[in-house]
Amino acid sequence: MSTPPPTRSTGSLRSEHETILTSVHAIGARVEKLGEQPLPQQMGLAREVLEFVRKKIAPHDRAEEVTLYPAVDWAAGEGSHITEVPRFEHKLIARRCEALDKAIQEGASSGRLMHLCYAILGLVAAHFVSTEEVLLPYLDKAFDQTRFEKEVLSPLRVRRTEA
- Give the pLDDT of residue 125: 97
96-126 pLDDT tens trace? 999 999 999 999 999 999 999 999 999 999 9
- Give the pLDDT of residue 153: 84
Q: Please report whether residue 137 resides in a domain.
A: yes
Q: Please report whether residue 2 resides in a domain.
A: no
The span from the CA of 103 to the CA of 117, in Å, is 11
- If one compares 157 and 28, the residue with the highest pLDDT of the two is 28
Per the structure, how many domains does the chain have?
1
Q: Please report whether residue 134 resides in a domain.
A: yes
39-83 pLDDT tens trace? 999 999 999 999 999 999 999 999 999 999 999 999 999 888 999
What percent of the chain stands above pLDDT 70? 96
DSSP H stretches of helix in the chain: 11-31, 39-52, 58-63, 69-76, 84-106, 110-130, 136-142, 145-148, 154-162
The span from the CA of 66 to the CA of 17, in Å, is 17
The span from the CA of 157 to the CA of 153, in Å, is 6
Range 23-34 average pLDDT: 96
**Which residue range(s) make up the domain with 43?**
11-162
Any idea what the Cα angle at residue 157 is, between residues 151 and 163, rounded to 5°?
Answer: 125
Q: Please report whether residue 4 resides in a domain.
A: no
pLDDT tier, 163 (very low <50, low <70, confident <90, very high otherwise): low
Full DSSP string of 62-101: HHIIIIIHHHHHHHH-TT--TTHHHHHHHHHHHHHHHHHH
Q: Please report whether residue 1 resides in a domain.
A: no
Is the pLDDT confidence value at 156 over 80? no
